[in-house]
Structure 1
């Protein structure tokens, strides 16, 4: 499995699947979720509405797949990351974040996809500490080599620097 680190906009990335750090409603939001919905166009929202009508909301750590609409990727895998509770024992949140990465890769594999691009799940308004989230992402991916290519796409310099340091220590 090849692991790549990219600093840039995940909505411009051409891979089999990009992962959307969605909210449980699947109807778009802020951050990467809003960017993916805006860039992908109404087809993504329509697909998400269809999924919701069929199964209800998406639970934290779980995944669903939709069209990529106008995006260069073939599919969008939507996953709901955990909200980090400052001052609490966060073992459950860490496990749920790992599930986001693992379940995204499994769903990609089930759909015959071989390459995936991940944003920095839960590190924005969900307040997951960026260092801890990066460690979880990298360890989870490395322990589940089921796809040919995994890309970590960091929009901001802080996340990119953290991932670069962690990946160079391998």
Structure 2
């Protein structure tokens, strides 16, 4: 049975309107560059992920949790060698991180926790599903740890060949669904992009998903 989907828009002007759709029940309040989904904030902003302050920071990874890509290498350097030691221990136990899976380590010298998400590469099967799964699993790890805030980059954008549009749609679908259906502890889920055009793509995609 399909459920009603009620979305309440509170615009900057203060006007209020109501729209209906299907699939899930969720209340959304738009406040400036943020929205509220079932008492949790989704925020999208331009910035440097390595200079953010959240309980957990999600970074892209490969199946062996090795340094690769500018963003991952930059954050691992800031976190210190202990994080890679933890990554190596994880690989010794599980052999590899499957596409769509995520694992958590300490944040070393950088943050409380790092979540290493293995997103898909262009050309792999079930690309969208795996990107949504990597996002979902990252949220689940943070939530089950009792954390209140987590920040993502556009997973699978850097070195994985996907457009920002693809990343935005898959990630935001997973985030909205998780906050609506499973969330217990997360109060803030943010996405940090590097350039203004990417911000506009994520914002437009979010507006499309909730309209």
Q: Determine if the TM-score, normalized by the shorter chain, exceeds 0.5.
A: yes
Q: Which residue of 2 aligns with 1:127?
A: 161
CA contact (8 A) 2:55 2:113 kept: yes
**Which of structures 1 and 2 has the larger relative contact order (alpha carbons within 8 angstroms, sep 6+)?**
1
2:152 to 97, 118, 143: 118
CA contact (8 A) 1:32 1:119 kept: no
Matched, 1:29 2:65: no
- CA distance, structure 1, for counterparts of residue 82 and residue 45 of structure 2: 26
Structure 1 residues 1-170: aligned runs within 5 Å: 1-71=40-110, 73-85=111-123, 92-145=126-179, 146=183, 147-169=186-208, 170=210
- CA distance, structure 2, for counterparts of residue 163 and residue 54 of structure 1: 36
* TM-score normalized by the length of structure 1: 0.91
**What's the secondary structure of 2:100's corresponding residue?**
coil
Backbone CA RMSD of aligned residues: 1.5
CA contact (8 A) 1:123 1:133 kept: yes
- Structure 1 residue 36: Cα displacement: 1.5
- Structure 1 residue 168: Cα displacement: 4.5
- Structure 1 residue 164: Cα displacement: 2.5
**What's the secondary structure of 1:28's corresponding residue?**
coil
Deviations 1:20-49 (A, max 9, x none): 111111021113211211111111111101
* TM-score normalized by the length of structure 2: 0.74
Gaps of 5+ in 1: none
Aligned residues: 165
| Larger relative helix fraction | 1
**What's the secondary structure of 2:128's corresponding residue?**
helix
- CA distance, structure 1, for counterparts of residue 64 and residue 196 of structure 2: 29
| Larger relative strand fraction | 2
Q: Which has the larger radius of gyration?
A: 2
CA contact (8 A) 2:69 2:158 kept: no
CA contact (8 A) 2:67 2:73 kept: yes
CA contact (8 A) 2:103 2:117 kept: yes
